[in-house]
Amino acid sequence: MQQDKINQTATIKTRNIIFGMILMFVIVHIGFHATYINQFPEFQKFNWVHHIHGALMGAWVLLLLLQPILIHKKKFAAHRFLGKLSYAVAPCVIVSMVFIARHNYQTGILTKSAIDVMAIQSITWMQIVMFVLFYSLAIYYRKNSYNHMRFMIGTAIIMLGPPINRIIFSYFPDVSTVYIFLISLYVKTGVATALFLSDFVKKKYLMPGLIVLSAFLFSDIVFHARYSDVWQAVGKFIVNTFY
């Protein structure tokens, strides 16, 4: 009887996660359909860096969707296989994010000042840092399903930013660029806050949720300080080191 209760609880949690990952998948699809997918097959505004980055990010989103489904279906061998596959996919995702950031900087400075471009890239680099942090912790806690799951959810929340930006930009063109960024940042932080509060109310272990929430809050602070001497110095270091 006790084992049945445990299994039932696990199933409910998995269903909630699956629903969240499906919602993320839909948001990502809507956002990138408006600015990328609908360019098929010409893709005149994009190069190989965009295509490789898009394929890798799409693969990551698909992994995030499939993994809880495999757990729900008790396909644990397949779940472990995809988990090991992520050891190759995740580093490629990180490298592609760096290449996209470099490309955006190089094209950005053609029309904007380096200060403005480095300010905008505060979002990009915080996404890279958070992805590395959350994925590293997820792998470190791979044998602790509770912690592992929450840090992987953290990488899913990161995925919401770019499509939300594109949805607002495409369907609400009158919204200021700064407000678009702020809405995207606050939505991600709001999701992280809601998950943390859910764990708090249910008296669950708070450490992973607190780390995820703190990272998103810090990302918001960095954006608001994007023109500060500190961030501009960080931006110059990034440009000199990676670009």
> What is the reported pLDDT for 34?
76
Q: Which domain holds residue 214?
A: 2-242
- How many Å from the N-terminal Cα to the C-terminal Cα in the chain? 59
Q: In the 8-state DSSP scheme, what is residue 75?
A: -
Provide CB contacts within 8 A for 100, sequence distance 6+. Answer: 49, 50, 53, 124
Give me the percent of the chain exceeding a pLDDT of 90: 77
Q: Binning pLDDT at 50, 70 and 90, where does residue 16 land?
A: confident
Spatial distance between the Cα atoms of 150 and 156, rounded to a whole number of angstroms: 10
Please check the confidence at residue 10 and state whether its pLDDT lies above 60.
no
d(CA 158, CA 185): 9
pLDDT computed for residue 100 by the predictor:
94
Tell me the per-residue pLDDT of 76-123, one tens digit each, with 9 for 90 and over: 999 999 999 999 999 999 999 999 999 999 999 999 999 999 999 999
Report the domain count for the chain: 1
What is this structure's pTM? 0.89
Position 1 pLDDT exceeds 50 = no
- Model confidence band, residue 12 (pLDDT cutoffs 50, 70, 90): very low
Q: Which of residues 43 and 201 earns the better pLDDT score?
A: 201
Mean pLDDT of all residues in 2-22? 61
| Closest alpha carbon to 126 in 51, 20, 238 | 238
If you average pLDDT over residues 179-205, what whole number do you get?
95
Task: Say yes or no to pLDDT of 7 above 90.
Answer: no
What is the mean pLDDT of the segment spanning 206-220?
Answer: 97
DSSP H helices in 36-144: 48-72, 76-108, 114-140
Q: What is the pLDDT of residue 75?
A: 92
pLDDT given for residue 3 in this prediction: 35
What does the alpha-carbon distance between residue 19 and residue 68 come to, in Å, rounded to a whole number? 10
